[in-house]
Amino acid sequence: MSHDRMPLTIAIVEDHPVVVEGLQRILINDLPIRAIREYYTGKDFIEDVKRGRQPIDVVLLDITLPDMNGIDLCREIKVLLPDTYILGFSNHNDRSLVMQLLANGACGYILKNASASEIITCILHALDGQVAFSEEIKRIINKPSAQQLKAIPPLTKREKQILKMIAEGKTSVDIAKDLMVSPFTVETHRRNLMQKMDVKNAAALIRTATELQLL
Amino acid sequence: MSHDRMPLTIAIVEDHPVVVEGLQRILINDLPIRAIREYYTGKDFIEDVKRGRQPIDVVLLDITLPDMNGIDLCREIKVLLPDTYILGFSNHNDRSLVMQLLANGACGYILKNASASEIITCILHALDGQVAFSEEIKRIINKPSAQQLKAIPPLTKREKQILKMIAEGKTSVDIAKDLMVSPFTVETHRRNLMQKMDVKNAAALIRTATELQLL
DNA sequence: TTTCATATACTGGAAAACCAGTAGAAAAAG
DNA sequence: CTTTTTCTACTGGTTTTCCAGTATATGAAA
């Protein structure tokens, strides 16, 4: 699709005025802009959206806002404006945060250290329906940390099976019935799982297992 | 970066011969190919990688393999070949599956219904360090299902706080001490959380909360 | 000001999990 | 064939969670 397009309406949800100023200048210089709307809080933005003003093409969304976190806001925006492209725009370079934002409806993420041209390129990619990341985020996503990959202890086949059933909310008695073993056996497997994951209870076990993509 | 590049080595991990045949033809027609290696199981692929043959530029990875699931394989490949680009190549169009593959080191995903040109474009994007999806996957990622967005029950501020602490593995007594309230209060919050999420225990609560990106 | 939602706290009890230990059979690996 | 790993199962006990109910104070919304 051509990059010539109708003038854009872009919303900036960001609580640092100097950042807003800089973004405005970059956007105006390099994109066909109809309007740029600035919001310092999530609440302000949501209220404005609910007033039903003209559509927003792109939202540049900080993760850290004074009144709510950007991930919750992202999900809420996506409900209200399903066709709007949301790009994270933040200092946070934590991989799981980026993935969380994507999981909540964003289609890209730009670190605040990105150059003007990177920012514009990401917005254009987003408008083309691409998933759009600034360069450093691409590197972060393509190379999961060594710690993240190595931290996974080896689980036996039976342990994995029991882990999944625990995550489904089944009690040890339930699991014992399903697998036709003694509840004592299930309890031993649970204990072994908790030792391998270095946790003390089922809640932490499931949290850790989910983080390690074992479920 | 130019798309003229050194001849590529591409691995196809796929158990349907007709799919492998079709992929081969597409790749040979449109890319500078040094070698195409075919594997029908994850184990075959891992063994070959461990023999230390020449590097692989791109892996096209089915999710459903006879001997293991593609997500586990993806993670294992990424440990062994950190600089190789892995693209999912599957019939599964479930959004969470795509996100899981990305979380495990893949840099893209192609549905099997993609055209030849889409496949080539994705591979070229991946080689450029882009996150690369075929068109339908882009649509799926950009529009989380209404069900997925709406299913999240509203949690109060205190509930969210207690949910996080439960996920950290803290007992109700621990949480009560930290928040300077009665353990009975924490127990009531837990019960309310479980009712809202329609679960019966902490393991299922944490699993569900993670799926809903509340943690 | 009133109503509703949230947060707090308790009773009495049962169920489940966690703890630390021990131990043997079967399967897998060397 | 031997050794190691996995899976199985139990004892005795404590801690924690889950259950269903009730109730009041405070804050927020109408």
- Residues B197, A11: Cα–Cα separation, whole Å: 33
Residues B131, A131: C-beta atoms closer than 8 Å: yes
Structure confidence by residue, pLDDT tens digits, A1-21: 344 568 899 999 988 888 888
In this predicted structure, the answer to whether residue B148 has a pLDDT above a threshold of 70 is: no
Residues B201, A201: C-beta atoms closer than 8 Å: no
Which residues have CB atoms below 7 Å from chain C, the nucleic strand? A 171-173, 187-188, 190-191, 194, 200-202, 205; B 154, 156-159, 179, 181-182, 184-185, 187-189, 201
Residues in contact with A190: Cβ distance below 8 Å, sequence separation at least 6, in sequence order: A162, A166, A172, A202, A205
The angle at the Cα of A8, spanning A6 to A10, to the nearest 5 degrees, equals: 170
The integer distance in angstroms from the CA atom of A43 to the C1' atom of D16 is 40
Paired strand residues for A132: A108
In this predicted structure, the answer to whether residue A214 has a pLDDT above a threshold of 80 is: yes
Residue among A175, A212, A177, A172 at smallest CA distance from A196: A212
CB A14 within 8 A of CB A20: yes
Please name the residue whose C-alpha is nearest to the C1' of nucleotide D19: B191
Whole-number pLDDT of residue B173? 96
In this predicted structure, the answer to whether residue B1 has a pLDDT above a threshold of 50 is: no
- Residues A62, A15: Cα–Cα separation, whole Å: 8
In chain B, DSSP finds a helix count (H) and a strand count (E) of 11, 6
- Residues B102, B124: Cα–Cα separation, whole Å: 18
Which of A55-59, B90-94, B108-112 comes out lowest in average pLDDT? B90-94
Mean pLDDT of B4-29: 86
Query: Model ipTM?
Result: 0.68
Mean pLDDT of B20-32: 89
For the record, the structure tokens of B215 come out as 């943690």
Report how far Cα B68 is from the mean position of its chain's Cα atoms.
Answer: 15
Mean pLDDT of B68-77: 82
Report how far Cα A85 is from the mean position of its chain's Cα atoms.
Answer: 14
Residues A207, B167: C-beta atoms closer than 8 Å: yes
Average of per-residue pLDDT values in chain B: 85
In this predicted structure, the answer to whether residue B3 has a pLDDT above a threshold of 50 is: no
- DSSP assignments along B83-152, one per residue: TSEEEEEES---HHHHHHHHHTT--EEEETT--HHHHHHHHHHHHTT--EE-HHHHHHHHS--HHHHHTP
A157 strand D contact, CB < 7 Å: yes
Nucleotide nearest to A189 (CA to C1'): D7
Residues A104, B71: C-beta atoms closer than 8 Å: no
Residues A167, B130: C-beta atoms closer than 8 Å: no
Q: How many other β-carbons are positioned within 10 Å of the β-carbon of residue B205?
A: 25
Residues B210, A205: C-beta atoms closer than 8 Å: no
Whole-number pLDDT of residue A165? 96
Angstrom CA distances, A20 to A13, A36, A62, stand at 8, 10, 11
CB A103 within 8 A of CB A210: no
Q: In terms of DSSP bridges, do strands A58-61 and A85-90 run parallel, antiparallel, or are they unpaired?
A: parallel
Residue among B166, B170, B151 at smallest CA distance from B205: B166
User: Considering only alpha carbons, which residue of chain A is nearest residue B122?
Assistant: A130
Q: How many other β-carbons are positioned within 10 Å of the β-carbon of residue B171?
A: 16
* Pairs from A1-6 (Cβ < 8 Å, separation ≥ 24): A1/A128, A3/A124, A4/A32, A5/A32, A5/A127, A6/A32, A6/A34
Domains of chain A, first to last: 8-142 (3.40.50.2300), 149-211 (1.10.10.10)
Find where tokens 């030849």 sit: B116
Nucleotide nearest to B187 (CA to C1'): D17
Contacts of B203 in chain A (CB under 8 A): 166-167, 169, 202-203, 205-206
Mean pLDDT of B146-164: 79
Which of A95-104, A163-172, B141-150, B181-190 comes out lowest in average pLDDT? B141-150
Contacts of B131 in chain A (CB under 8 A): 131, 133, 138, 141-142
The integer distance in angstroms from the CA atom of A197 to the C1' atom of C25 is 27
Mean pLDDT of B67-82: 81
Find where tokens 């699931």 sit: B69
